[in-house]
Chains A and B, each alone.
Chain A
């Protein structure tokens, strides 16, 4: 069998290759610094939801500086934000939590409920200067579980050229009727109306809440007449062709891309798009989201909290406290919030931001009127309300249910889940 002999030689070579490869891999993998840092002297781990920042970014440099000031080395990892919640829960289960964890504000109550976070009392963190409406998102049962690093919220970006062509003055858009009338004019003049994100996830609920709260509705009663009026507003926009059908599937980024084409009069989006707004190449302005009866609607607060997860080695908290204080101190918060395009969490820093960038004034006002999703002591009941809520607006917008029916079903589900 000639073939077999040559085959054997070939395979012998392959096997040798395997062995070498295994050895190399094994060698390259023995990385001493990668495991959990249990000894109090080990590096301090920080997890954040900013994977877009690499080691050369201002954010990571700030982390290193704060570490140096506290006399420790820090090891930072950036995770995708949806992934970070699971990762944090899993790490808490295995007692491998990071020393400092930066998470999206509605997640704080979930992690606190899980017993994975320390209170600010325990770690002796000072929260005195923080705006109460922002801090509320991190409070549960009278205890505070973190410090906001900054906040963002939603407002309406508008395209000046489209509005001028339609003969709409943005200054007059103080209530829903005026806004809908403006959308009608825009459509008549050949423009496209408004784009937002009504996707069936938390992101969609986030975008719906300004309208929901702006109608006077409460999260504890999803099928109130006010709530129905808010959902009817959205569905009518879709029916009239003032808003595109794609909103059902839009993330906030997709919705932004639609606004950025320059065809749309309005786009509901967040503070974080400011830098991109400058790149669109057309003139834009920002107005607060109007409420039904007139005035600014409360929008939900976005943005992250800096927290100190529970660790078995309590001796580490002292350093964690110094790290968090450093990260949220006035000067550093200013830098971080500027990089992230957020509004600061303390009035003093907000004033500095407006002084440096006057156009932030609209956003500072919006943040002052804003409200945490888990506030009003909703805590972990919020996720159980938010999911039926997004199911409801998806049903109404896709035409499978009328707004009152959709919301009635949502209220039934939410009531059962939060009982």
Chain B
């Protein structure tokens, strides 16, 4: 396949994948009277900006909170899980297998039960309705994932690399800091991406722990259009569209950092 053909194929695949997203955009411009037209309108021929007007008036502060929560969760997750992954992959702690197991099980606890547990703890600690509390809660979705992913990636780092560092006189901390972490860039990016995405799209923690907060994430903002009897679908979809834009840019930036053959480069060095 020529490069140009590959780009065309890539565009085609992306288009198929993103068709539901297109449909969401389509609905965001559709008037109430056309929403259930049969056959459906493939393109909003008679568009309305009603949804977007509502969103731009009301939703921007929510977006800021979501970004802050997302980035906070990323930092917390990486800081906690990267060292743990290194230890499990390279230092072979006794009981490490059991710990990985616990991490796996931890992810099976339903989010709503976690949220109910947190509610009681947060209420006593007085961190209910705070951004920091929400970051902490959101990180619980990502930390076990982070540890397991770091373990899987770091166990692929050749032992010669860490052995060489040890011969150079580096202790485990220095080995981790200056050898393992730099070659684990892909893992860091991957874990960060998903930590961000989970925090961004979390609803259960947000509503239980930050429902009455002054700074609420975008997933709660959407509920402004889901009244007790009626839902304003074009505004709901418009919120999702607007909310996706900054986050998409962030994803594209992050993807550029996933580099090929990082391990190889380091060995040569």
Contacts and interface: CB of A to CB of B under 8 A. Distances in A.
A and B touch in the complex (CB under 8 A): yes
Contacts of A52: 224-227, 232
A276 B32 contact: yes
B228 A3 contact: no
A58 to B, nearest CB: 15
B226 A80 contact: yes
Interface string B180-220: 01100000000000000000000000011001111100000
Given A261-B36, A272-B230, A87 B79 contact: no
A224 interface: no
B81 interface: no
A29 B130 contact: yes
A252 to B, nearest CB: 7
Given A30-B130, A52-B225, A54-B224, A7 B182 contact: yes
A357 interface: no
A104 B229 CA distance: 10
B21 to A, nearest CB: 21
Nearest to B216: A77
Interface in A22-49: 22, 25-26, 28-31, 34-36, 45, 49
Interface string A267-283: 00010110010011100
B157 to A, nearest CB: 14
A298 B266 CA distance: 77
Interface in B22-59: 32-38, 58
A397 to B, nearest CB: 18
B239 interface: no
A30 B223 CA distance: 25
A253 B230 contact: yes
A54 B212 contact: no
Contacts of B224: 51-52, 54
B233 to A, nearest CB: 7
Interface in A255-271: 256-258, 260-263, 270
Main secondary structure of the interface of A (DSSP, over half): helix
A6 to B, nearest CB: 8
A318 interface: no
A30 B125 CA distance: 11
A77 B220 CA distance: 12
B236 to A, nearest CB: 10
B144 interface: no
A124 to B, nearest CB: 28
A21 B71 contact: yes
B168 interface: yes
Contacts of A22: 72, 75
B84 interface: no
Main secondary structure of the interface of B (DSSP, over half): helix
Nearest to A10: B182
Given A3-B269, A31-B213, A90-B116, A50 B227 contact: yes
Contacts of B269: 1-3
A54 B58 contact: yes
Contacts of B7: none
B165 to A, nearest CB: 8
B129 interface: yes
A8 B181 CA distance: 9
A11 B116 contact: no
A80 B216 CA distance: 14
Contacts of B181: 7, 11
Contact of B229 (A1, A75, A90, A152): A152
Interface string A74-94: 010101110100110010011
Contacts of B182: 3-4, 7, 11
B228 A280 contact: no
A273 B35 contact: no
Contacts of B38: 261, 263
B58 A28 contact: no
B33 A260 contact: yes
A262 to B, nearest CB: 7
B163 to A, nearest CB: 13
A232 interface: no
A302 B35 CA distance: 26
- Which 6 pairs between the two chains have the least Cβ-Cβ distance? A4-B178, A29-B130, A7-B182, A34-B129, A29-B132, A81-B228
13 contacts: A1-B165, A7-B182, A28-B215, A35-B126, A36-B123, A51-B224, A81-B228, A83-B207, A94-B120, A94-B123, A257-B32, A270-B229, A273-B230
Interface of A: 1-5, 7-8, 11, 17-18, 21-22, 25-26, 28-31, 34-36, 45, 49-52, 54, 75, 77, 79-81, 83, 86-87, 90, 93-94, 96, 104, 152, 251-254, 256-258, 260-263, 270, 272-273, 276, 279-281, 302, 304
